Amino acid sequence: MSVRQSLLAILDQGPCYGYQLRGEFDRRTGGTWPLNVGQIYQTLERLERDGLVAKSDSDREGRAYYEITDAGHAAAASWLAAPVERQTAARGELAIKLAIAATLPGVNLEQVIHVQRAAALELLRELSRRREAIDEPRSPEDLALLLLVDAQIFQVDGELRWLDHCEGRLASAVAAGVAGPLPLSTDVPKRGRPARVHAAEGA
C-alpha cells in the first residue's frame, strides 16, 4: 500500500498539517491502516524533497501546512488512473512459510495448514460481522470502509481456497513419494546474488 501516494491524493483536496492529514487518512480508510505522526511527517519531507508538496509558514498554533504542487497534482492523478502492479514473485509470508515447512524434517504440514485455516475462518467470521454492520452505507466514510472490508473478505476467501489447493498438492506429493525433508546442500555457494527464477520458467 502506497502511503506516499495516498497522502498526496488527500493533499490534492487542500492543504493539511501532519495531524490533520493522519486524521483524514484514518477517516477515509476506516482506521484499517493506522499511521503514526512520525511516519506522516517523514513522508511529507520526502514529498517536499521531490517537489510534490510545498511547506507553508506555521500558523498561530505552530502548525505547518503542506500544499500540493502542480507536479504533485499530476503524480496523484497518475496514481489514481493507473492499475496497482502486483509482484509476480510469490513473496507472501504464508506462501514462504508453507514452502519452507514442506522441506523441513519433523514438520506436520497438514497441521500447519489446519492452524492457518482455523485462523482464516475466524478472521472471515469477524470481517463478515463488520460488513453486516455497514451493509447499507450512509456516508462516504461508510462506503470507504465497506470497500476495504469487502477486499479483506475476498483476500481471506482466496487464502482458504489456496489452502485447500495446498492440501491437495500435499496429498498428491505424498502419494508420489516426493514429499519429505530437503537436506542441506553440500555445494559451495557461489558469490553474488542468486539468479532470479521467473514465474514463466518451468510452467
For the stretch 86-113, pLDDT in tens is 665 556 788 888 888 888 888 899 999 9
Backbone angles phi, psi at 57, to 5 degrees: -65, 155
Grade residue 41 by pLDDT with cuts at 50, 70 and 90.
Answer: very high
pLDDT value of position 199? 47
The pTM assigned to this predicted structure is 0.72
Q: Are residues 51 and 99 in the same domain?
A: no
Q: Are residues 117 and 143 in the same domain?
A: yes
pLDDT value of position 203? 40
Residue 22 belongs to a domain: yes
Instruction: With beta carbons less than 8 A apart as the criterion, state whether 98 and 166 touch.
Output: yes
Q: Are residues 71 and 120 in the same domain?
A: no
Residue 46 belongs to a domain: yes
Residue 44 belongs to a domain: yes
Alpha-carbon torsion 55, 74, 30, 15, what sign?
positive
Q: Are residues 150 and 108 in the same domain?
A: yes
Residue 28 belongs to a domain: yes
CB burial readout 64-87, b (16+ within 10 A) else e: ebbebbeebeebbeeeeeeeeeee
E strands in the chain: 53-58, 64-68
Number of domains observed in the structure of the chain: 2
Write out the residue range of the structural domain in which residue 63 sits: 3-81
